[in-house]
Amino acid sequence: MNTLDIVFVIILGTLCLRGIFRGMVREIASILGLVLAFVLANKFHEELLPSIQKFIATPGYARATAYLVIFFGTMIAVFVVSTLLKHFLKMIMLGWLDRLGGGGLGLAKGLLLCSVILIVLTTFLSPKTSLLSTSKVAPYIGMVNNALAGFLPDNMQDEFRSKSSSLKELWHADWMEKLKQKQEALRGNN
């Protein structure tokens, strides 16, 4: 294992454990809470503005305050609902399912984060860099990269695809060499 592998294992392990401790309900609620808070604040901050202007005379500060009150109010409401749901799941003996799902979501978040890191490294470094070419974990993380690469700017996509192809050839050659060595070792034992 090289440095990149260690970083990937730490990220995956940490986010998986964090997901187990937080649970699926909280993991989902944190994402949905942000999205819902953003949408509601965009939609309703103007309606709250007259009430805020009674206390804050400066228009910019009043608008920002109205927006943030709705945003953070929504986040708090989602947190309260998720906490109640989490306690309900514990009461009906499904806390284990919440934690298992949380671990899965945490692992998925870790995989996405590692994939973004690998995309950046693949795009900007040479495929022959030992950090990439000798990694044991990167080939598995790389399986997610093609889906995410579509979100890159066009110039980065071309660079990524070119270097990714070269890197996959290096990994394949390494795997074939190891397979050949194992076959020879098995023949030697017989």
Domain limits of the chain?
Answer: 3-125
- pLDDT score of 110: 92
Q: Find, among 108, 111, 135, 107, the residue nearest to 122 by Cα.
A: 135
Q: Please give the Cα distance from 96 to 100 (Å, whole number).
A: 6
pLDDT (tens digit, 9 = 90+) per residue, 21-56? Answer: 999 998 899 889 988 999 999 899 999 999 999 999
Q: Please give the Cα distance from 156 to 149 (Å, whole number).
A: 9
CA 46 to each of CA 42, 68, 71, 78: distance values in angstroms, whole numbers, following the listed order: 8, 12, 13, 22
Is the separation of the CB atoms in 142 and 161 below 8 Å?
A: no
- pLDDT score of 174: 85
- pLDDT score of 190: 64
For residue 100, the SS3 value is: helix
Given a cut of 50, the residues of the chain with pLDDT beneath it are none
Exposed (0-12), middle (13-18) or buried (19+): which is 113, by Cβ within 10 Å? middle
Exposed (0-12), middle (13-18) or buried (19+): which is 164, by Cβ within 10 Å? buried
Q: Identify each DSSP E strand in 42-138 by its residue range.
A: none
- pLDDT score of 94: 87
